[in-house]
Amino acid sequence: MVRIVVPGILAAQAEGRKSFEVEAETVGDALRALPVADLIFNERGDLNGHLNIYLDGTDVRERGGMHCPLAGAAELRVVAMVSGG
């Protein structure tokens, strides 16, 4: 079981929930189980470009990206990059 924490605008789109407990084998599977998965991935299933995903403090890009296994991990954090306007 991993705890997923999402930023405010995603929480607002999930009836105010900021964190979720998800049972999944990989980072991608866990994120795709969220009720806001359509705001995290585009229609091709690619991660939206302005998001960083940290698994217990490490950028998942360094650990296989969406294929990164969750075994033994505690927290997955979705963070909006410094961008926008």
Partner 1 sequence: MALVGTRKGLFLVRSDGHPRRWQAQGPLLDGWGVYHATVDRRDGTLYAAANHVIYGPTVQRSEDSGTTWSRSKQIGLPVDSGMTLSAAWHVEPGPPERPEVLYLGAEPGALFTSRDRGETWDVNRGILEHPTRDRWFPGAGGMCCHSIQVDPRDPDCIYVGITAAGVFRSDDGGLTWRPINRNVAADFLADPHAEVGHCPHKVLLHPARPDRLWQQNHFGVYLSDDQGDTWIRVDGNGLPSGFGFPIMLDPNDAEKAFVIPEKSPEYHYSPAGKLAVYETRDSGMSWKAIDAGLPKPAWAAVLREAAASDDESLYFGTQSGSLFVLDDGERWVEAVRHLPPILSVEVTTWSE
60 and 54 in contact (C-beta within 8 Å)?
Answer: yes
Nearest Cα neighbor of 45 from 36, 37, 57 is 37
Distance of CA 13 to the CA centre of its chain: 14
Contacting partner 1 (CB under 8 A), which of 39, 65, 69, 77?
A: 39
Helix (H, G, I), strand (E, B) or coil at 39: helix
CA-CA-CA-CA dihedral for 34, 35, 39, 43, to nearest 10: 90
In the bound state with partner 1, the residue whose beta carbon lies nearer, of 10 and 68, is: 10
Q: Candidates 2-10, 22-30, 57-65, 68-76 — which segment interacts with partner 1 by CB under 8 A? A: 2-10
In the bound state with partner 1, the residue whose beta carbon lies nearer, of 72 and 84, is: 84
Q: How far is the CB of 7 from partner 1 (least distance, A)?
A: 9
In the complex, which residues of this chain contact partner 1 (CB under 8 A)?
8-10, 12-13, 38-40, 42-44, 46, 48, 50-51, 80-81, 83-85
